[in-house]
Amino acid sequence: MRIVYHLGAHCTDDERLLRCLLKNRAALAAEGIVVPGPARYRTLLRDTAKQLRGQPASRDTQALLLDQIMDEDRAERLVLSWDNFLGYPQIALRDRLYPAGAERMFAFIQVFPEIACEFHLAIRNPATFVPIIATRQRAMPPLDFVAQADPLALRWSDLIGALRAACPEVPITLWCDEDTPLLWPEVLVAVAGHGPEVQLEETGDLLASLMRPEGVERMEAWLAANPPADAADRRRAVAAFLDRYALPEAMEVEVDLPGWTEDTVAALTEAYDRDIDRIMTMEGVTLLLP
């Protein structure tokens, strides 16, 4: 068995990936891929990790927990998804992004210390991530939340580096949230790990939320009549239809924080681009790119 931890992050996936995999649970199960409902493991893993305090669970404890999480006797791949794995929104920004994330994930993997695992995570430009998560957390006023860190110093590579240091045997797969509309099939395959013969159903929710209905219909008809030769060919087609039929309100994120100017957003975006370049060089890290 291999355990897949999908870590979010907040304000990227909004559980769309988990919902899609749950809708295709039967097809995935045929390949030994188990996708349990989140109510079966989120609180259970959180409480168990807290009780273990970083110590590895016994084999009896592991067996008991697996019995509670999945009905199947065995699985090739167990997919667990929770955007609070790295920390709750109120602690997502304290000097840096998810400062307790590496410590938390080390504690979580001690619940099943003898089972190989992998981390999957979407990252997002801090220029849009910080304002949105500031409004989603409820621990303090948004401006006080943002003031906990220098936005220009925020680097996802710091979090990834900390995860690699705390869990060096765990490979990490990343993608940029901004690229998800073009990478959606590749993201689903990376997380679920299913073979090419499995055709997932109801995978169009993401593009449907970004495009006018007639655009979605025409794109689906065009792809059916002109099957893409490969993933890159499909991405080019999707990009063309998005360019023509995208909903402006869905594609444009308004940054509304007092004191943040267009120059602030530009500087944050430039730093984010440099950070992505750094992540691409990190050992044990795979970055999905369009």
At 11-57, the pLDDT tens digits run 999 999 999 999 999 999 999 999 999 999 999 999 999 999 999 99
Which of 77, 85, 76 is closest to 109 using CA atoms? 85
- In angstroms and rounded to an integer, the radius of gyration of the C-alpha atoms of the chain is 20
Cα angle: 245, vertex 251, 252; to 5 degrees: 130
Q: How confident is the model at residue 250 (pLDDT cuts 50, 70, 90)?
A: confident
Residue whose tokens read 């840096």: 96
Give 286 or 204, the one with higher predicted confidence. 286
Mean local confidence (pLDDT), 64-93: 97
Q: Where are the domains of the chain?
A: 2-200+262-288
Q: Which CATH class is domain 2-200+262-288?
A: alpha beta
- Are 122 and 9 contacting, i.e. CB atoms less than 8 angstroms apart? yes
- The DSSP string of 48-93 is HHHHHTTPPPPHHHHHHHHHHH-SSS--SEEEEE-TTSS--GGGSE
Q: How confident is the model at residue 131 (pLDDT cuts 50, 70, 90)?
A: very high
Helix, strand, coil fractions of the chain, as percent rounded to 5: 50, 10, 35
Give the pLDDT confidence score for residue 255 in this predicted structure.
Answer: 80
